[in-house]
Chain A
Amino acid sequence: MFLKIIARQTRHNWVVALLIFLAMTALVSLYVYSKNTAAFSNRSMQLVMKNMGHNLLILPKEADPQAVYCGAEGLPLIPEDTTTQMSKSLKLASRYYVSVLQETVDVAGHSLVLTGIAPVARKDESREKRNMVLPLGADELRLGSEAARKLGAEVGSSLKILGKQFHTVEILPPKAGIDDCRVYMNLATCQELLGKEGQIQYILAFLCLHAGSLEKALALQEEKLSSDFPGFRQIARMDIAEGRYLARLTTSKSLRYLLAIVAAATVVVVAVTGLQEVHDRRHETGIMIAMGVSQTYVVGLYLVKTLALALAASVAGFLLGSLLAVQFTTPFLVVNTRPVTFLWTQFPAVAALTCAVAVAAELVPIAKLLSLDPSAILTEQ
């Protein structure tokens, strides 16, 4: 009978039920839409930032970073396994390490920076992020844009460097810097060609900024590097780091304020509607109490109805929000590693959140319900 009363009452007063349902559906769909698009636009911005390059240069203290920037001679050599040791030290916030050995050489009459690279993954890195710098095969080349222009190379074309035959697998977009003049190759091959087996000069890394602020994250990394690897220092590319940090702020955090406003509006709509309903159904409440039903039963009639509407709204809002995210963002938000789609795993959290909002909104009407004087209601003239 309890559920029958709820069902019949909802059907009888369908306008109120529809209003509550729509208000909660609007909230849920906005939440799902913003959560969905924020996750993907955040990922998209991360990749844009990563394509700009690593934001951390780790090199021996005595090394002159100018030599790195200019591709000049004179960088001291360090053992290649230094990178492996760093990747094993999970205390460091840096990751996506790349061991680098470079030397300016003459290739077909052009002075270019031969750069041997070998990505070294941390064990806690996700697969999708490991592709920041893809490893190269023993006879593969990746050319900076200027190097490709000077050599007249295209993807697939063959080149002979220091007597060894290579084929070009990728030509990088221009960056207006020394990287445009680099000829990237497999680190082991580069070491062999330059006669520097097992040795590198510096390490590139990416610092993830989860410490609350840029300065804090950098200070923490600096402190751990000097304690665990005292012979090394780090130089951060602040523009990339800041871009990454701001991307996170704009795509994820700012949406929360908008969401809070909509949630507050929904609570007000549900609460006001609930108050009106308590008033409209006061005779029903009075007669039930006269029949001897408990307050819990009467409160349950309201609460279960609202929770049922909240659950229905969470399903509708989830589908609508996901659909809008897919329809509106897929054309411009292209993230190869993680396409915009229905995030079904989020549904339980969405449903729980909707129910929590519904219960919060019903607190005032329930307080009003409990304060009703049934004897006064039933003798109203």
Chain B
Amino acid sequence: MIEARNLTKTYRSAGRPVHALEGVDLDVAEGDFIVIHGASGSGKTTLLMALGGMLRPTSGSLAFRGQRLDRFAYWKRARYRKRHVGFVFQKFFLLPYLTAYDNIRMSLSLRGYQGDRKQRIVDLATRLGMADRLTHRPSQLSVGEQQRIAMARAIAAEPEIILADEPTGNLDQANAKTFAKFLTNENRQGRTIVLVTHDTSLLDLGNRSVELRSGKLCASA
């Protein structure tokens, strides 16, 4: 599905080059659940952003179903994300002025979801145990509830790939467990998931885990 070959990403910080990724090779097959782990600053998030078409690699190739994602124009990468990718972040980034319902609906609207939007939102909220919280604003929800709404927003338009960046970083153990279970269920239904974490307890969640050290892929299990 996604093939990364000899991927590098170099930033400049205070005039000096910082190598976030160095020669990374990674294959993501359809239905995979890959956990990328590593210490802070190891390049996990940079790799995730590259896979999501949010940044261009400095060199190497990145292909989605044979098409060179790294060569896509800005609008084409936006279309790729719109059609195929759902992001979940550690900080959720829910829009504070919209209700939980509207936050999910925004995703459906922006991605041009063709089905019954209201029904889809209610179904998702029910699955996530949030049916009675849809009229609440993010500030009226607990951290765990906010993450569930962020998850619902990411998968609402049924993207094929979910890219999750430290999604349990702000959650307590119970919420993290619920969230992990939800991800596993999504994967069982055929959704491809790439999860970035520094929490080693989540390594068993996926069918595959890889470790990044200083921008280099070190181990794959």
What is the interface of chain A, defined by CB distance below 8 A to chain B? 1, 4-5, 8-9, 11-13, 283-284, 286-295, 297, 373-375, 378-380
Contacts and interface: CB of A to CB of B under 8 A. Distances in A.
Interface string B94-121: 0111100010011101110000000000
A1 B106 contact: yes
A378 B107 CA distance: 17
A284 B49 contact: no
B42 to A, nearest CB: 13
A291 B91 contact: no
B97 A379 contact: no
Contacts of A375: 46, 49, 54-55
A288 B95 CA distance: 10
Interface string B168-182: 000000000000000
B45 interface: yes
B78 A292 contact: yes
B70 interface: no
A378 B93 contact: yes
Given A1-B105, A379-B49, A292 B81 contact: yes
B109 A290 contact: no
Interface stretch (B82-90, B140-148, B184-192, B209-217): B82-90
A294 B75 contact: yes
A105 to B, nearest CB: 88
Contacts of B87: 287, 290-291, 378
B98 A290 contact: no
B78 A8 contact: no
B95 A284 contact: yes
B78 A289 contact: yes
Contact of A288 (B97, B110, B165): B110
B110 A292 contact: yes
Nearest to B97: A12
Pick from A12, A288, A375 the residue with the most CB of B within 10 Å.
A375
Nearest to A11: B97
B93 A291 contact: no
A350 B126 CA distance: 52
B98 A5 contact: yes
B82 A292 contact: yes
A293 B82 contact: yes
Contacts of B79: 292
27 contacts: A4-B102, A5-B95, A8-B97, A8-B102, A283-B93, A287-B89, A287-B93, A288-B110, A289-B54, A289-B78, A291-B81, A291-B82, A291-B106, A291-B107, A291-B110, A292-B79, A292-B81, A292-B110, A293-B78, A293-B110, A294-B78, A295-B74, A373-B55, A375-B54, A378-B165, A379-B45, A380-B91
Contacts, number: 74
Contacts of A295: 74
A373 B54 CA distance: 9
Contacts of A13: 97
Contacts of A284: 93, 95
Main secondary structure of the interface of A (DSSP, over half): helix
Which 5 pairs from chain A and chain B are nearest by CB?
A: A292-B82, A12-B97, A292-B81, A1-B109, A375-B54
Nearest to A374: B54
Contacts of B107: 291
A145 B111 CA distance: 85
B179 to A, nearest CB: 18
Given A5-B106, A374-B54, A379-B49, A292 B93 contact: no
B72 interface: no
Given A5-B95, A292-B80, A373-B55, 19 more contacts: A5-B106, A12-B97, A13-B97, A284-B93, A286-B93, A287-B95, A289-B54, A289-B81, A290-B54, A291-B87, A291-B107, A292-B82, A292-B110, A293-B78, A295-B74, A375-B46, A378-B49, A378-B89, A378-B93
Pick from A286, A289, A291, A378 the residue with the most CB of B within 10 Å.
A291
B41 to A, nearest CB: 11
A214 B91 CA distance: 71
Contacts of A287: 87, 89, 93, 95
B99 to A, nearest CB: 9
A5 B106 CA distance: 9
B191 to A, nearest CB: 17
A12 B97 CA distance: 6
A306 to B, nearest CB: 17
Nearest to B196: A379
Given A8-B97, A375-B54, A379-B165, A290 B105 contact: no
A292 B54 contact: no
Given A291-B107, A292-B111, A9 B97 contact: yes
B38 interface: no
A289 B91 CA distance: 16
A215 to B, nearest CB: 60
Contacts of B105: 1
Contacts of A5: 95, 98, 106
Interface in B22-46: 45-46
B52 interface: yes
A291 B102 contact: no
A188 B115 CA distance: 90
A10 B162 CA distance: 31
Pick from B83, B107, B110 the residue with the most CB of A within 10 Å.
B110
Contacts of A11: 97
B137 to A, nearest CB: 9
